Structures are given as C-alpha cells and as structure tokens.
Amino acid sequence: MAKTSQKDRVLRHLNDEGTINPMVAIRDYGIYRLAAVIHNLRQDGYNITSENVSTKNRYGESTHYAKYHLTKQKPVTSSDYARAKNGH
C-alpha cells in the first residue's frame, strides 16, 4: 500500500473541509510546514488563496496565522484522464 503524501492529505482536507490552517495541519496530520505544502500544490496548478487571521494566544497577546482556501480544482488534463482510465 502506497504512503499518502502530505500534499494528498492537505488536498483531501481542503476538498472535505474547505479550509486548513497550521494548527489543524500539525494536530491532524503532523505537518509542520503547511506553507511549503501549499506552495507545492500551487505549483501543481491548484488555486489556493490565503487569508491572514488575527487572534489572541493563551496569554492574551495578538498573533497571526494563515488560513488557506481551495478556490478552484486543478484542471483535468488529457494525461490525467488517461491515467485514471488505466487505473493509475
């Protein structure tokens, strides 16, 4: 059985939940460099936007983090279709 990549996990989460942030990525998937995974997904053609969120931490101090949204699916190419058709 093939190991699921970090990109696959993040993409599945975005498809299922709509958004992801660094704390969810760490807690649910053990991904510490979410921005790097998002960067790689963008290079693969996924349209992912980021929203800067401001909040307070447990000490009452202001903190900021990025919340990512999948806005559009990657376009399906003919090679993607051929791979799917052949069961790959």
Whole-angstrom Cα distance, residue 50 to residue 20? Answer: 10
| Domains of the chain by residue range | 6-85
Give the per-residue pLDDT at 86: 58
Give this prediction's pTM. Answer: 0.76
pLDDT tens digits, 22-78: 999 999 999 999 999 999 999 999 999 999 999 999 999 999 999 999 997 655 565
Report the DSSP beta bridge partners of residue 64.
54
Could you please report the per-residue DSSP string of 39-76?
HHHHHTT-EEEEEEEEEE-TTS-EEEEEEEEEEEPPPP
CATH topology for 6-85 is Arc Repressor Mutant, subunit A (1.10.10)
